[in-house]
Amino acid sequence: MDTAYLSTHPAAGQESGVPLVSIRRVSKQFANGTIAVRDVDLDLGTGEFISLLGPSGCGKSTLLRMVAGLGSPSTGTIDWPGAGEDKAERDLGFVFQDPTLMPWANALSNVMLPLTLKHVPKSEAQERAAEMLALVGLKGFETSYPRELSGGMKMRVSIARALVMRPKILLMDEPFAALDEITRHRLNDDLLNLWWRERFTAVFVTHSVFESVYLSQRIVVMAARPGRVMADLDVSAPYPRDELFRTSAEYAHLCRLASGKLKEAIGA
Amino acid sequence: MSSASPSASVPHDGTDAEARPLTLAEPTILGLPVSFWPRILAPIFVGILVLGLWEFAVRWNEVPSYVLPGPLLVGQTLIADWGTLSASLWITLRITFMALAAAVIVGVALAVLFTQSKWLEMALLPYAVILQVTPIVAIAPLIIIWAGDINLSLLICAWIVAFFPILSNTILGLNSADHNLINFFQLHGATRWQTLRYLKLPAALPYFLAGLKISGGLALIGAVVAEFVAGTGGSESGLAYRILEAGYQLKIPRVFAALLMISLSGIAIFLATSLISHLLLRRWHESALKREN
């Protein structure tokens, strides 16, 4: 009835072109003996929108944090062939599951934080932060404090803060999991628009099949105990995707396929 | 419509800005919200009631004033002896505020030092605890002998009593910064100093202020207790000495008047520190927010 399909992504290292991040045989064992991630091979291509999809405890957050440099792999390597050798030069933005804002600072100061830490002059930092706030739809809320903002708006501030340095890659750890569905849909749409416009590489950790299909070009399916990659799927649907796509038969079909792959992968 | 209140112009641009709650300003009397007035009037009412009963009981039973003076006599003594008492009050308050300032400086400095170095904390914190748990009355005579100068020894005594709550609260506050925010600072290559300045110190502020509220009262108690032990005479004498002196002379109304001044000073210090805390935290901290449930 339609042409939507999922295809297997080429294995790591098999693709043409230099990936932004190259993950090779990465394992992570915690001090208590838990193996959070085992033997992960993954390339993150420049400009891609990739979802890491899997149940709780499959190590997707741990993997994301290791890419960010928060904790290093027990074995294996994470290289940035598409970026400079200097670790400090690896521009990345990180969005946590909670907005993680400074409650004592207003929205503008929160977004300015990465610029302040890099000693960007105050007037320039303010200008860039205000621009970023406007881009996430929060023009007029510069002087609002986090407690005066709704959950979705706080998440927008958090995204603006992550993007204010114009990073090459945006890492998101289940950012919308705590939001209601209506807000989540809006934020998904706005995130896609931002990505479409700014052309950063996006890595999105989620446990929602629907969210991953809606957003991504590529879904990496992971299984738990130990955390490992079970499937790496390309999503064929074109961008821009919008509300029409969300209600299309094509989307439903893709969700069914991805759901099937997930069940197969985690052996349910 | 002012641009300062974004709630007045909520955009309908597809964001969830509309999700912000609409707020109604509460009606006020003399500039204070209506719901605030019982908090002022209720204690005043109780106070007047108790004072009235006290005055009545003293007169009815004809209690002599050297046993228990009535509140009216205490008030008269306070006015009559105001010259002597207020000079003494000033001396006591000066010690109190100097001790509190020293407690803030040393307490915060030590707390910052301890969070920068676990070794320093392990090595020094036990001694801070020992200093705190030793009764000040017991060590005050030693301090007076060692320090030589009476004002200095009073200052040291009051400082010992006042500094621990600031130290322990500030340590707790510095260590309670959001773990993910610490990660975020790390991700953006923040230096130790930047993490301290932009994250740990602001996160510690509410805890520090809670410590300050306790220490304000303790500094006053410390100063008064040390004065009692020192029993200094002459013109440079604090309120505690006036109480001792009046006690020996059986001028009990004067004892009460001096006690009243100490209590009122303590209350004033508490209100002042509470006000500072409220002003610094009202925009963001949970403790300063009103909740409907």
Whether residue B180 and residue A98 make contact (CB cut-off 8 A), yes or no, is yes
Over range A121-148, report the average pLDDT: 94
Average pLDDT score over chain B: 87
C-beta of residue A146 within 8 angstroms of C-beta of residue B178: no
Q: Is residue B51 part of a domain?
A: no
Asked whether A195 and A202 are in contact (CB, 8 A), the reply is yes
Boundaries of domain holding B144: 78-286
Closest B-chain CA to A173: B180
Residue A1: per-residue pLDDT? 43
Is the CB of B16 less than 8 angstroms away from the CB of A150?
A: yes
In a domain, B273, yes or no: yes
Q: Which two tokens stand for residue B246?
A: 């009046």
Phi, psi torsion values for A4, nearest 5 degrees: -65, 140
Compute the distance between CA of residue A169 and CA of residue A102 in angstroms, rounded to an integer: 23
Which amino acid makes up residue A203? Answer: V
pLDDT at B233: 55
Residue B166 included in any domain: yes
Residue A20: Cβ-neighbour burial (10 angstroms; 0-12, 13-18, 19+): buried
Is 60 exceeded by the pLDDT of residue A199?
A: yes
pLDDT range class, residue B33, cuts 50, 70, 90: confident
Task: Tell me how far apart the alpha carbons of residues B37 and A32 are, in angstroms, rounded to a whole number.
Answer: 57
Contact at CB, A92 and B187, closer than 8 angstroms: yes
Give yes or no for B20 touching A (CB within 8 A). yes
Is A135's pLDDT higher than 70?
Answer: yes
Which residues make Cβ contacts (< 8 Å) with residue B164, sequence separation at least 6? B107, B128, B129, B131, B132
Nearest residue to B78 (alpha-carbon basis) of B256, B241, B266, B265: B256
CATH number of the domain where residue B241 is located: 1.10.3720.10
Q: Locate tokens 């706030």: which residue?
A: A133
Cis peptide before A10 (omega within 30 of 0): no
Interface of A with B in 128-167 (CB under 8 A): 137-141, 143-150, 152-153, 156, 165
Contact of A5 with chain B, judged by CB distance below 8 Å, is answered with no
pLDDT tops 90 at residue A81: no
**B187: number of Cβ within 10 Å:** 20
A69 and B187: CB-CB below 8 Å? yes
- Residue B291 pLDDT greater than 90, yes or no: no
Q: Could you tell me if B194 lies within 8 Å of chain A, comparing CB atoms?
A: yes
A102, B202: Cβ pair inside 8 Å? yes
Helix or strand (DSSP H, E) at B99: helix B82-116
Mean pLDDT over residues A247-266, rounded?
Answer: 88
Decide which of B110 and B18 is more confident: B110
Q: Tell me which of B293 and A10 has the higher pLDDT.
A: A10
Closest CA to B227 of B258, B250, B264: B258
Cβ separation B190–A139 shorter than 8 A: no
CB nearest A102 (choices: B181, B183, B289): B181
Pick from A116, A144, A190: CB nearest B6: A144
DSSP-derived secondary structure for A21-86? EEEEEEEEE-TTS-EEEEEEEEEE-TT-EEEEE--TTSSHHHHHHHHHTSS--SEEEEE-TTS-SS
A7 beta partners? A234
* Strand pairing class (A218-223; A75-79): unpaired
Is residue B30 a part of any domain in this protein? no
Token match 């230099």: residue?
Answer: A18
Beta carbons of B270 and B212 less than 8 angstroms apart: no
Tell me: the pLDDT tens digits for A25-53?
Answer: 999 998 888 889 999 999 998 899 999 99
Nearest to B176 by CA among A116, A107, A103: A103
- Domain boundaries, given as residue ranges, for chain A: 19-54+68-89+215-231+255-268, 91-200
Tell me the pLDDT band of A73, cut-offs 50, 70 and 90. very high
Distances (CA, A) of A179 to A120, A174, A184, A195: 33, 10, 6, 20
Do B20 and A148 lie within an 8 Å CB cutoff?
Answer: yes
Q: What pLDDT score does A224 carry?
A: 83
Compute the nearest-CA separation of B289 from chain A (Å).
10
Q: Does the residue B184 lie in any domain? A: yes
- For residues B138-165, give the mean pLDDT: 90
pLDDT band at A133 (very low <50, low <70, confident <90, very high): very high
Residue B53 placed within a domain: no
> In this structure, are residues A28 and A71 in contact, taking their beta carbons and an 8 Å threshold?
yes
Q: Which residues of B touch A143 (CB under 8 A)?
A: 4, 6
CB nearest A147 (choices: B19, B185, B289): B289
| Pairwise CA distance, residues B77 & B220, whole Å | 23
Choose among A110, A208, A119: nearest CA to A164. A110
Among A145-149, B12-16, B118-122, the least confident range: B12-16
Distance CA B202, CA B156 (A): 29
- B15 to chain A, minimum CA–CA distance in Å? 6
Angle formed by the axes of helices B82-116 and B150-174, nearest 10°:
40
Q: Nearest chain A Cα to B13, which residue?
A: A137
Q: What is the DSSP string of B138-187?
A: HHHHHHHHHH-SHHHHHHHHHHHHHHHHHHHHHHHHHTTS-HHHHHHHHH
* Separation in Å, CA of B18 to nearest CA in chain A: 9
| H or E, element range at A202 | strand A201-206
What is the structure's pLDDT at B230? 83
C-beta atoms of A140 and B6 within 8 A: yes
B15-30, pLDDT tens digit by residue?
555 555 566 677 777 7
For residue A173, the SS3 value is strand
Q: Which residues contact A252 (CB under 8 A, 6 or more apart)?
A: none
Q: Note whether A153 contacts B19, CB cutoff 8 Å.
A: yes
A161-195: buried (b, 16+ CB within 10 Å) or exposed (e) per residue?
Answer: bbbbbebbbbbbbbbbeebeeebbbbbbbbbbbbb
Report yes or no on B10 lying in a domain: no
- In chain B, which residues have their Cβ closer than 8 Å to the Cβ of A117? 185, 188-190, 194, 198
What domain count does chain B have?
1
Give A13 to chain B, closest Cα distance, Å.
Answer: 27
DSSP-derived secondary structure letter, A174: S
For residue A153, the chain B residues in CB contact (below 8 A) are 15-17, 19-20
Distance (Å) from the C-alpha of residue A152 to the closest C-alpha of chain B?
7
Under the banding of pLDDT at 50, 70 and 90, the label for residue B7 is: very low
Average pLDDT over residues A143-169: 93
Q: Is A190 on the interface with B (CB under 8 A)?
A: yes
The DSSP bridge pattern shows strands A35-44 and A169-173 to be: unpaired
pLDDT band at A240 (very low <50, low <70, confident <90, very high): confident
CA-CA distances (angstroms) from residue A59 to A176, A196, A249?
18, 28, 32
Homologous superfamily, domain A91-200: P-loop containing nucleotide triphosphate hydrolases (3.40.50.300)
Q: Please check the confidence at residue B71 and state whether its pLDDT lies above 70.
A: yes
A249 touches chain B (CB under 8 A): no
